[in-house]
Structure 1
Amino acid sequence: MFWDPLFDKVSTLVGAEPDQLKLIAGLLISFPLGSLYIRLPPSRPNIAHLFSVIVSTIFLVPLLGLGGGMLHLLFSIAGTYLIVVTMKGPNMPWVAFCFVMGHLLFNHISRHVLSIPATTIEITGTQMVLVMKLSTFAWNIHDGRQNPETRLTTVPNPLAFLGYCFFFPSILVGPSFNYATYDSLVHHRIYRVAPPGTSVEQAKAAKRRVPYGRKRVAYLHFVIGLAFLGVYSIYSSKLSYGRILTPIWSTWSLGEKFGFVQLAGLIARTKYYAVWSLSEGACILTGLGFNGYDQKTGRTLWNRVRNVNIVGIETAESYKVLFDSWNCRTNVWLRDVVYKRLTKKGKKPGSKQSMATFVTSAVWHGIDPGQFRRYVRPYFLPQSETSSQIPKRVYDIAGWIVVQTNLNYIVAPFLLLSLKGSIQAWHRMYWYSPIVVALSMAFFSAGGRRKLKRGLDKRNAASVPRAAPPSFKISPPSPAVLPKDDVPPPPAPEDERDSSDLRWVKHALDNPSYQDSGEGVGIGVSIPDEWMESARGTPTSEKGDPLKME
């Protein structure tokens, strides 16, 4: 295309591949297009559907040169649509899942056979996002047929389905989301959430306008994405895992080698932080990111399709926090489409469910850090409000060091993309991560788990306060319980429009536990935690809560 020489020239200036620059260009163009998209009339949804289809086609075909890849996407979309329409039985979603996964596997194998370089942008990245959308859609239709109150009750028309599949801000790198969310965005029903503390009249007015804060949160992610792009472009070549395989590695001291691995892992993650931040910001500009209101502050939430919690990853003190913070939408997909679907109602998850889930994500979701969190961490927790917090801080810092150093070791194959090179790199890193895991497993298997549990039982028993002697003091009568209609209203929301109040920045990037009820915030059920429970033989309910044995 006519713009190829421009990208070639920029490539020589910044040191990035032309394909990668085109991908970034598509993400950046999505911002002004997102501001236009939100102004499309909700009374004419076909315009929004066509808008996304046209823009995504331009991104994939003339910009990235993926005309053949576009045909692959259309094949998966058409096949899934036919399966959903023609099949009515319980096997329909599984047939759709196998169809899209089989097609993706075919393209993955093709890329390997053709030896396409990792720096080349091809269709499998976009297809991976589409697989999540299509398989989720099939399950949503199935659920709607079983229970009309849940998910989708009717199959959308082909144009609406194409608009969902080709939603332009997420077509290149995600995030994924379900069709109901897309439909509510197109018709502007996504904003029909009353702010806390508002009257009926105010709530009705709020439903007629886009909530406050959309632009500033979107462009905050825009700035974050550009900042990480800058860091990656400057340091990616100097701090590449490939340098582990060069002769210079042998000239470094042990401390230099260890430090290099940690910095290389951090720089490798900045690439994902950049593209995911940009795509999330563009989605927020379209309105898709709206997730209601913070129940404590009343501030608007724009994290419905959050795909990464950068602060959570870089400060993770356990693998549970790490897993829940990285590629969040994929975790939601794994939970809803694989893990929960293979677990029968009222039954505990077993090896089939666990292995089916982890094979599709990553085999390195180790279980031993969970053992430490369950049996070791409680020894460092304060036993009362007056107890010192120092032991817990020490444990948290140690946990952060272990999580980060092991993560930076494990990700080497994802950057080197070679079995021989990965083995050689791990050997030059002295296999420190597997050694730590092996020692932990040996400790717990050799009786460490039982000893720690007995110690915890004694510690908990000693901390139970003795019963106080009976008191003859006459207490005043308890106040009358207010009827429901007389319950005081929640506090008024904080004023978000105060230009001098910069707390919105922290609020936009935070993910406190009390916000976990919204779609896209965390994954609700922690798959690593449930796998641990199943490994110990502890039955769990459908929601993931431990079942009490009578």
Structure 2
Amino acid sequence: MAASLMEKFAESLGSPEPAVRLMLSILIGYPCALVYRKFLFYQPATVIHLFHTFSGLALAAFNFGSQIYHSAVCVLVQFLMLRLMGRTVTTVLSSFLFQMLYLLAGYYFTATKDYDIKWTMPHCVLTLKLIGVSLDYYDGRKDPSQLSLEQKKAGLLSVPSLLEMCGFSYFYGGFLVGPQFTLRSYQRLGGGGAPPCPSIIPAMKRFGLGFVCVVIYATFSPYFPNSYFLSDEFPFWYCCVFILLWSKVMLYKYVSCWIIAEGVCILSGLGYNGVVDGKHQWDACANMKVWLYETTPLFGGTIASFNINTNAWAARQVFKRLKFLGNKMLSHVTTLLFLTIWHGLHSGYFMCFFMEFLIITVERRALVTDSPLLTKLANSALYPLIYVVQQIIHWFFMGYSLVPFCLFTYDKWLKVYSSIYFCGHVFFPAVYLVIPYLRKVLVPRKELSQKKQE
């Protein structure tokens, strides 16, 4: 009967039932966080871990039924690895291989040609958490002088208990859609003491902003269906405008979930980040910088504002640990390859991250800061016009990169790219090849020589 009611409720909203279940589960995190702050904050750590474990398991069962055993198996295996193998490279490698192979097997056996909300969605979040625990536990053996500030904050000095691992893994504020946070951060929820400060107002601000994003997505997404891409061909410029608007609307699906989930973390206290200039900071679990996301004309700015904690995890646990390669470009490519495989096995993910790498590589060679003429234009009265043009280019090619990410299979995204003549694949390599010649014209020799010395 409950399933029938959910089905009818989803039909009344005009949304798929799994999506409605997911959003309800994220929202349920708010009363869970209130119960914790009001009644459990001063309780022993065991009580707190039990509450977080069973509330998270209940939400997982509500969404995925008996398939929650996948996450339970991975949490148990990770705990046994830490206990039995200790602080060794073998533990790190075994954890990485087991967790990634389990996730990839899940992708393989549940794959369809469309985006489905299934158990692999929260499991990809869990995979990074569990791999991160093994790395942080390994860092705990090192001399503090050998660790970065981030590693010192995240390093584990002892093996977590199984109950602690479960509370960390199933915490209702991050189990379903993130954000990523360290076990050390989670442990502070069971540390007792006084709550850092009232968290209701900052949490409700994030909830309100997330709700606005939900409304925007729900209102406009029916006008920009993915199926449009596979319909009859339309004029080139019409397709370009559609891609630009489609990407803006489509991304609000992710933005809304992350912001609302961040509000849950803030309400529980996990989002507290100390005091800066006399003001309490609540950005420890921030997954979106909304103002930067909406206003930046740069691809790098969008990446820096989007899915922040996952990007930070990849930077800390993958990119910076590849320092031994001695090549930042190689480390960057390897990190992007890891993130690609972590997202899934569809060819669209590989094409999307390839485009990201290509675009960022070109953008980093920009001439504006080196050329007096371009700097003068950027500071002139023409800048508003330049900004608008730059934003149009920025969001079109952002959408261009996201087409394969959302359409998954090569037969679909190849059809879309063919209809717009692979313009992104032509534009950015062409710009990359032309920039050295433009640099000779626009950058004075003095500036060029100083650049080379740097």
Q: Same fold (TM over 0.5)?
A: yes
Confirm or deny that 1:401 pairs with 2:392.
Answer: yes
Work out the CA distance in 1 between the residues paired with 2:170 and 2:420. Answer: 43
Give the gaps of 5 or more residues in structure 1. Answer: 190-207, 463-535, 539-547
Which amino acid counterpart does residue 56 of structure 1 have in structure 2?
A: G
Instruction: Please list, as runs of the form range in 1=range in 2, the aligned pairs for 1:149-298 lying within 5 A after superposition.
Output: 150=152, 151-188=155-192, 208-212=194-198, 214-247=199-232, 249-250=233-234, 253-295=235-277, 298=278
* Residue 118 (1) aligns with residue 119 (2): no
Tell me the secondary structure at the aligned position of residue 156 of structure 1. Answer: coil
Letter in 1 for 2:118: E
* 2:353 is aligned with 1:356: no
Flag the 1:157–1:311 CA change in 2: closer, same or farther, 3 A.
Answer: same
Corresponding letter in the other structure for 2:196: V
Would the aligned equivalents of 1:66 and 1:122 in 2 still touch at CA under 8 Å?
no
Tell me, in whole angstroms, the C-alpha distance in 2 between the residues paired with 1:48 and 1:284: 17
- Whether contact under 8 Å (1:313, 1:321) holds in the other structure is yes
Q: Map of 1:67-82 to 2, 5 A cutoff?
A: 67-68=66-67, 70-82=68-80
- Alpha-carbon distance, 1:180 to partner: 0.5
Partners of 2:13 and 2:213 in 1: CA distance: 14
* 1:340 aligned residue (296, 317, 320): 320
User: Quick check: 1:303 aligned with 2:283?
Assistant: yes
Cα deviation, residue 393, structure 1: 5.6
For residues 376-415 of structure 1, the C-alpha deviation after alignment (integer angstroms, 9 at most, x for no partner) is 1215679999x94446666554443332110111111222
Displacement of 1:305 in angstroms is 0.7
Report the 3-state secondary structure (helix = DSSP H, G, I; strand = E; otherwise coil) of the residue aligned with 1:66.
helix
Give me the identity figure in percent. Answer: 21
- Alignment CA distance shift 1:397-1:448 (3 Å): farther
CA contact (8 A) 2:114 2:408 kept: no
- Structure 2 unaligned regions, length at least 5: 146-151, 340-352
Q: Decide which moves more: 257-266 or 135-144.
A: 257-266
Selected match of 2:443 from 445, 455, 479: 455
Deviations 1:458-510 (A, max 9, x none): 35899xxxxxxxxxxxxxxxxxxxxxxxxxxxxxxxxxxxxxxxxxxxxxxxx
Q: 1: distance between equivalents of 2:41 and 2:359?
A: 53
Please list, as runs of the form range in 1=range in 2, the aligned pairs for 1:464-483 lying within 5 A after superposition.
none
What's 1:140 paired with?
136
The structure 2 residue matched to 1:329, chosen from 275, 295, 309, is 309
Residue in 2 aligned with 1:435? 426
Which amino acid letter does the alignment assign opposite residue 166 of structure 2? L
Please name the residue that 1:466 is paired with.
none
How far off its partner does 1:154 sit? 0.3
SS in 2 for 1:363: helix
Aligned residues: 430
Report the secondary structure of 2:173's partner residue.
Answer: helix
Q: Residues 254 and 374 from structure 1, CA distance in 2 versus in 1: closer, same or farther, beyond 3 angstroms?
A: closer
Deviates more, 1:351-360 or 1:134-143: 351-360
What TM-score do you get using the length of structure 2 for normalisation? Answer: 0.86
TM-score by length of 1: 0.72
Q: What's the Cα RMSD here?
A: 2.8
Q: 2: distance between equivalents of 1:239 and 1:129? A: 28
Q: How many angstroms does 1:234 deviate by?
A: 2.5
Match of 2:96 in 1: 97
Match of 2:17 in 1: 18
Q: Give the structure with the higher percent helix.
A: 2
Hey, what's the Cα distance between the residues in 2 that align with 1:449 and 1:67? 60
| 8 Å CA contact retained: 1:96, 1:135 | yes
**Residues in 2 aligned to 1:7 and 1:277: alpha-carbon distance in whole angstroms:** 24
Separation in 2 of the partners of 1:42 and 1:139? 30
